[in-house]
Structure 1
Amino acid sequence: FRRLVNLHITLLLYRIYIYLTPLPEHTNELFRGVLGDNTWVLSSLCSNLMHYLGLSHHLLALNFIIGSFGKKSAWSSAQVNVTDTDFDGVEVRVFEGPAKPGEPLKRSVVYIHGGGWALASAKIRYYDELCTAMAEELNAVIVSIEYRLVPKVYFPEQIHDVVRATKYFLQPEVLQKYSVDPGRIGVSGDSAGGNLAAALGQQFSQDANLKNKLKVQALIYPVLQALDFNTPSYQQNVNTPILPRYVMVKYWVDYFKGNYDFVPAMIVNNHTSLDVEEAAPLRARLNWMSLLPESITKNYEPVVQATGNTRIVQEIPQLLDARAAPLIADQEVLQHLPKTYILTCEHDVLRDDGIMYAKRLERAGVEVTLDHFEDGFHGCMIFTSWPTNFSVGIRTRNSYIKWLDQNL
């Protein structure tokens, strides 16, 4: 009982801390709005309490709470036809936009939702509304993939799901069924969905048996590496609401079914210290002093430990797998990728992942558009309707859809 009381006190203090944490100047209104009734924080606290009491895994509990606030059944309007089906055993929600006059075949986007590989759904309100808007404004078919989540499955099963569903969709008879132009198909995703979209793009670019190639990829504040948790954006936004550094590191550990005891060591880069031989060949690909402009690096210093915990990478070798961390892929892989759009936000620990990937792609000869929002925060693009209809959410969504309209 005493331990339970101590836990409640700790959670209460954490909630007070969240309210009192100084917020970035340009995002005060945004974050105060999101935290107005502290829904996200309270949901996290409740799920952690349920985990502590042995009632449910904290991610299952949190996802249940998220779903209860906004699951939408498939519905159709005059402009967009929405159906739930499965592609080779993987659940998908398909949004069929109106045909464009004079164009019998539609373009298409395979969309992969975010949520740390563990949360959210293609069927919650935020993603349903995003994909509906994309289908209507682009006169397109949007395939939103309902991939399996942690803790039911772990890496690389999420990648297998999105690859399997997309390969099924790319079959000529399936494209014909949905009246999709095989030469105008893109892949996109936000956050962990951006990670999966990038991994899918790299895999498809190397698949000689794939007849229909992707025309574009569009990555929204993607998470792309787990080697360095002290890039300038991780240092700058270490305690920023929505996605503080500690939470992002825990998502990585969850994705790999790792040990939470490793989290403090990973936060200070002990898992990629100089004595970790497995990480040595990859450090050059993640040298942010050469990949980021001075306006980003400022006075931040790299955190490179001489000695660390060699056990971490030995027990979680997935940390160094390019399928999990597309930013560290070989240059030969990158040069075959399609035209790319990357959206980044200033107040986001993942900002530099996206900027570094854009630079590596440019060096590989890929045409890249880097769309940076100074007042953006992680997750903002799906906050476009009341009560979370924030200006930066609407602007990021409009900019993203405009790029797709012009390039797909």
Structure 2
Amino acid sequence: MRLLFSALLTVLAALVAYRIYQVLQRPLPDDVVNPSQLRWIDELGRIANILETSSKAIGFNPATKPVKSLVDIGFSLVLNPTFWRKAADNIKVANAVYGNVPVITFTPGELASLTSPRPVMVYFHGGGWTWFSAGSYNVPLRTLASKTQFVIVAVDYRTAPQAAFPAAYDDCLAVTKHVVDNAKKLNYRSDLIIVAGDGSGGNLAASVAIEMKQKIAMQLLISPALQILNLGTPSYQDMNDVLPGVTNPRREITHWLNYANLDQEPGFIDDMLNNVHASKHLHELYKDFFNSKKRIPAHMNVSERHTLPHVRTKHGTAYKLDKFVTDVRFSPMMVKNTKGIPNAYFISCHYDVLRDEAIMYGHRLLESGVKVKFRHYPSAFHGFVLFAGSSFWKFPVSDKAVNELVDFLQFQYFNVRKERTE
């Protein structure tokens, strides 16, 4: 028995060693930042993809409460390992309830004792409307609060598939309304309320900004997921298998289906991968929104591809998905009238399937007179902003993105302050 156990351990060690060898040999794009560390981030994502796909193949959606709790812990340890990354320690962290929704507030020490109103950022975390929580973003939001000198209200919204659309949207809207309606009581500046988020959180921020226009000062959209009508944009084509553990079409589609409570529908993932999931008349009605030749400026065009035209429709799939495709709460990019939408600050990166929809939506906002600041990072990957300030993960582009955001916010803060006191 002891001999058999030793043999099994030897085989396992050999398999692990071989897998490590494969990871180290895997080619990465020449211009990515710190490829030696990015390999391991991508590998963790690949493992997660395999586990999720395998689970669903046997009819089990792993997004259950126990699994989500484990993923939350794992995400916090990998992304925010406090034993090797010192969190900003000048931040007052408190739990609260805004609009019947739990939130975590991050208040810089310099602002905690202020009697005058403070600028506030309502932040919606990423994770495909399925994973993570406000708590698992503890260190990135501490860093953001410390650097920006904004109070950050992190929303712990309900997640899919247990609480499908529009639960997350409703929670985020409720918190934002609470902040707006109670700004004086909470000692927040009513003229400097920002909504922000990354990935699916960017989707929620964009949707809330549309509903709350004229009530908030700005929207900060970090690699936002904005639409599901046309999944044949150049970035969806380019990023099919470049960094699949970090960003890939199948993962995005899985998250969208979780959010829509359609994750158990057979064939939907393949139909969306083949871009046959929406009705022809919707493609015709909104095709201008996805015209990459028109909507992606030449200086931001990083692909030789263009958005794929509509070829055919799988009507059974479209019958169930069409209502989500055009619902601005679900797909904010589909808003027809962009006039009056709050000013926007976009952060995008090259290695991201969501890259082009952010650019195309920003272009439409500009056309309608919305002030837009766009920061694109060619060597960065989806989620890179969350590594800013890390003493373990060495991605200088992450710190650059946050520092440039800070510079912009400080300038914006001065302008608003000046206008208010004149």
Q: Unaligned stretches of 5+ in structure 2? A: 1-15, 81-86, 414-422
1:228 to 227, 230, 250: 230
Match of 2:277 among 256, 264, 271: 271
Contact 1:221–1:345 (8 Å) recurs in 2:
yes
**1:325 positional shift:** 1.4
Alignment partner of 2:179 out of 164, 169, 186: 169
Counterpart in the other structure of 1:349: 353
Deviation at 1:43, TM superposition (A): 3.9
| Counterpart residue type for residue 216 of structure 1 | M
* Structure 1 segment 138-153 matched on structure 2, within 5 A: 138-153=148-163
Q: CA deviation at 1:42?
A: 3.0
Structure 1 counterpart of 2:164, from 154, 160, 163? 154
The answer to whether structure 1 residue 326 and structure 2 residue 332 are counterparts is yes
Change (3 A) 1:102 1:49: closer
Shift of 1:40: 3.2
Residue 84 (1) aligns with residue 95 (2) = yes
- Contact 1:44–1:62 (CA under 8 A) maintained in structure 2: no
Query: In the alignment, is the contact (CA less than 8 A) between 1:225 and 1:325 conserved in 2?
Result: yes
For residues 47 and 247 of structure 1, do their structure 2 counterparts lie closer, same or farther at Cα, with a shift above 3 Å needed?
A: closer
Which of residues 380, 391, 401 in structure 1 aligns to 2:406?
401
**2:230 paired with 1:201:** no
Counterpart residue type for residue 285 of structure 2: P
Q: Pick the aligned partner of 1:246 from 250, 256, 272.
A: 250
Contact 2:125 2:200 in 1 (8 A): yes
State the structure with bigger RCO (CA 8 A, min sep 6), 1 or 2. Answer: 2
Which of residues 109, 115, 138 in structure 2 aligns to 1:98?
109
Instruction: Please name the residue that 2:416 is paired with.
Output: none
Query: Counterparts of 2:412 and 2:36 in 1: how far apart (Å)?
Result: 32
**Aligned-partner Cα distance in 2 for 1:285–1:37:** 31
Deviations along 1:316-351, one digit per CA (max 9) or x if unpaired, are: 2212222211112112xx111122100110111111
Structure 2 distance, partners of 1:301, 1:43, is 30
Residue identity (%): 25
SS at match of 2:220: strand
Residue in structure 2 matching 1:123, options 131, 135, 140: 135
Deviation at 1:376, TM superposition (A): 1.0
1:378 to 382, 396, 411: 382
Describe the shift of the 1:301–1:182 C-alpha distance in structure 2 as closer, same or farther (beyond 3 A): closer
8 Å contact from structure 2 (residues 238, 303) kept in 1: no
How far is the alpha carbon of 1:27 from its aligned partner?
1.2
Secondary structure at the residue paired with 1:58? coil
In structure 1, what is the equivalent of residue 123 of structure 2? Answer: 111
Of residues 69, 72, 77 in structure 2, which corresponds to 1:67? 72
Name the structure 1 match of 2:6: none
The question of whether the paired residues in 1 share the 8 Å contact of 2:49 and 2:251 is answered with: no
Alignment of 1:255 onto 2:259: yes
Closer, same or farther: CA 26–79 of 1 in aligned 2, 3 Å: same
Q: Determine the C-alpha separation between the residues in 2 that align with 1:82 and 1:395.
A: 25
Change over 3 Å in CA distance of 1:22–1:116 after alignment to 2: same
8 Å Cα contact 2:144/2:402 also seen in 1: no
SS of the equivalent of 2:230 reads coil
Q: Which runs of 5+ in 1 are unaligned?
A: 1-11, 206-211
With normalisation by structure 1, the TM-score equals 0.84
Cα displacement (A) at 1:279 = 3.9
8 Å contact kept, 1:313–1:319: no
277, 284, 291: which is aligned to 1:287?
Answer: 291
The Cα shift of 1:108 comes to 0.6
- Superposed CA deviations along residues 21-79 of structure 1, whole A, max 9, x for unmatched, are 5422111634743526933333444455566677x63123653332223279xxx9873
* CA displacement at 1:284 relative to structure 2: 2.2
- Closer, same or farther: CA 350–50 of 1 in aligned 2, 3 Å: closer
CA distance in 2, matches of 1:62, 1:319: 29
SS, match of residue 133 in structure 2: coil
Give how far 1:183 is off: 1.0
Tell me, yes or no, if the aligned pair for 1:345 and 1:378 is still in contact at 8 Å.
yes
1:308 aligned onto 2:313 = yes
In structure 1, distance between residues paired with 2:192 and 2:58: 50
Q: Is the 8 A contact 1:240 1:348 kept in 2?
A: no
Instruction: Give the Å deviation of 1:267.
Output: 1.7
Q: CA separation in 1, counterparts of 2:408 and 2:120?
A: 14
**Cα gap change, 1:31 to 1:182, in 2 (>3 Å):** farther
How big is each residue's C-alpha offset from its partner over 1:81-123, in whole Å with a ceiling of 9 and x where there is no partner?
1111211221100112234699822111001111111111110
> Cα RMSD (Å) of the superposition?
2.9
Task: Give the AA of the match of 2:385.
Answer: M
339, 342, 366: which one aligns with 1:335: 339
The answer to whether the 8 Å contact 1:269/1:304 transfers is no
Q: Which residue type is aligned with residue 155 of structure 2? A: I
Query: For residues 109 and 394 of structure 2, what CA distance do their matches in structure 1 show?
Result: 26
One-letter amino acid matched to 1:180: Y
On the 8 A contact 1:229/1:267 being kept in 2, the answer is yes
Q: How has the CA–CA distance of structure 1 residues 40 and 58 changed in structure 2, closer, same or farther, with 3 Å as cutoff? A: same
Q: Secondary structure at the match of 1:27?
A: coil
Contact 1:344 1:371 in 2 (8 A): yes
Alignment match, 1:208: none
| Deviation readout 1:133-164 (Å, 9 max, x if unpaired) | 23223332110000011121111111001001
**Contact 1:119–1:149 (8 Å) recurs in 2:** yes
* CA pair 137-302 structure 1, distance change in 2 beyond 3 A: closer
State the secondary structure of the residue aligned to 1:40.
Answer: helix
In structure 2, the residue matched to 1:4 is: none
